[in-house]
């Protein structure tokens, strides 16, 4: 198989998979229509049958209790049932739980290590800062410290935003991504002195 054929087959498989995902997601969507009334948790929902329009006299007889099986009218029992919709139970937990404290501590510790290694490289061995954002602050020790303190504070801020909006996995992912990026930066700076 030539590379051109492989590329075409890979592209075809990717497009097919993407279309399948969108079609499946649309078919399995369970959202209420935009014009549908949304029931509140305190009001019960009344379930009824579809047949009252078909046999209105029989339904009236059954509901009033005067219907009998020998009357010749088909008896359709329509009894409204009270159904209470399940109330959503959002996950309520504290923002500064043990996992977030560990993640924030690790993030701040690695930001401190990144600061120390970057400062050492910039001052003693004549190194050059590769990150253009940090390069603006890296001309002085105070500016470099401000940059890495802002990075640690930004991690906590983004995590809190995701916590408040109910995205608990993204809340922790912010710290994990920052820890990973700081590990890569410390490792690179340590090996390229």
pLDDT at 82 over 90: no
* pLDDT tens profile 131-163: 888 888 888 889 999 999 999 999 999 999 999
* Residue written as token pair 């802002």: 150
pLDDT at 47: 44
Tokens standing for 56? 């209105």
Pick the residue with more confidence: 105 or 26? 105
Pick the residue with more confidence: 51 or 179? 179
pLDDT at 122: 86
Each domain of the chain, given as residue ranges in start order, spans 45-83, 98-191
pLDDT at 46: 46
Q: CA 19, CA 14: separation in Å to the nearest integer?
A: 9
DSSP label of 138: T
pLDDT at 45: 46
CA distances from 6 to 9, 10, 69 (A): 5, 6, 72
* Residue written as token pair 């549908």: 36
* Residue written as token pair 């009033």: 64
Share of the chain above pLDDT 90, in %: 33
* Global confidence as pTM: 0.52
The region of weakest confidence among 40-44, 57-61, 150-154, 167-171 is: 40-44
* pLDDT tens profile 112-130: 999 999 888 888 767 788 8
Q: Which residues of 108-131 are buried (b: 16+ CB within 10 A; e: fewer)?
A: bebbbbbbebbbebbeeeebebee
Angle between helices 141-164 and 98-123 (to 10 degrees): 160
Q: Which of 49-63, 67-81, 127-141 has the highest mean pLDDT?
A: 127-141
Q: CA 175, CA 172: separation in Å to the nearest integer?
A: 6
- Give the mean model confidence (pLDDT) for residues 153-178: 93
pLDDT at 131: 84
Pick the residue with more confidence: 100 or 54? 100
* pLDDT tens profile 2-47: 766 666 666 565 556 556 555 454 445 555 555 656 655 555 544 4
Per DSSP, helices labelled H in the chain are: 3-27, 56-64, 98-123, 132-137, 141-164, 168-191
């Amino acid at each position: 198989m030539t590379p051109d054929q492989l590329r075409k087959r890979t592209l075809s498989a990717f497009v097919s998979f993407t279309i399948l995902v969108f079609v499946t997601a649309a078919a399995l969507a369970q959202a209420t229509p935009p014009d549908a009334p949304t029931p509140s948790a305190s009001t019960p929902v009344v379930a009824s049958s579809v047949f009252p329009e078909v046999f209105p006299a029989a339904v009236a007889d059954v509901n009033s209790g005067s219907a009998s099986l020998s009357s010749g009218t088909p008896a359709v029992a329509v009894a409204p049932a009270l159904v209470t919709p399940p109330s959503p139970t959002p996950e309520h937990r504290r923002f500064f739980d043990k996992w977030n404290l560990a993640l924030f501590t690790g993030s701040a510790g690695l930001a401190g290590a990144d600061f120390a290694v970057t400062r050492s490289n910039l001052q003693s061995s004549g190194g050059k800062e590769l990150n253009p954002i940090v390069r603006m602050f890296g001309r002085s020790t105070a500016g470099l410290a401000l940059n890495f303190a802002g990075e640690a504070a930004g991690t906590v801020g983004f995590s809190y935003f995701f916590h408040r909006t109910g995205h608990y996995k993204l809340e922790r992912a912010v710290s994990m991504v920052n820890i990973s990026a700081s590990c890569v930066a410390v490792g690179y700076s340590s090996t390229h002195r």
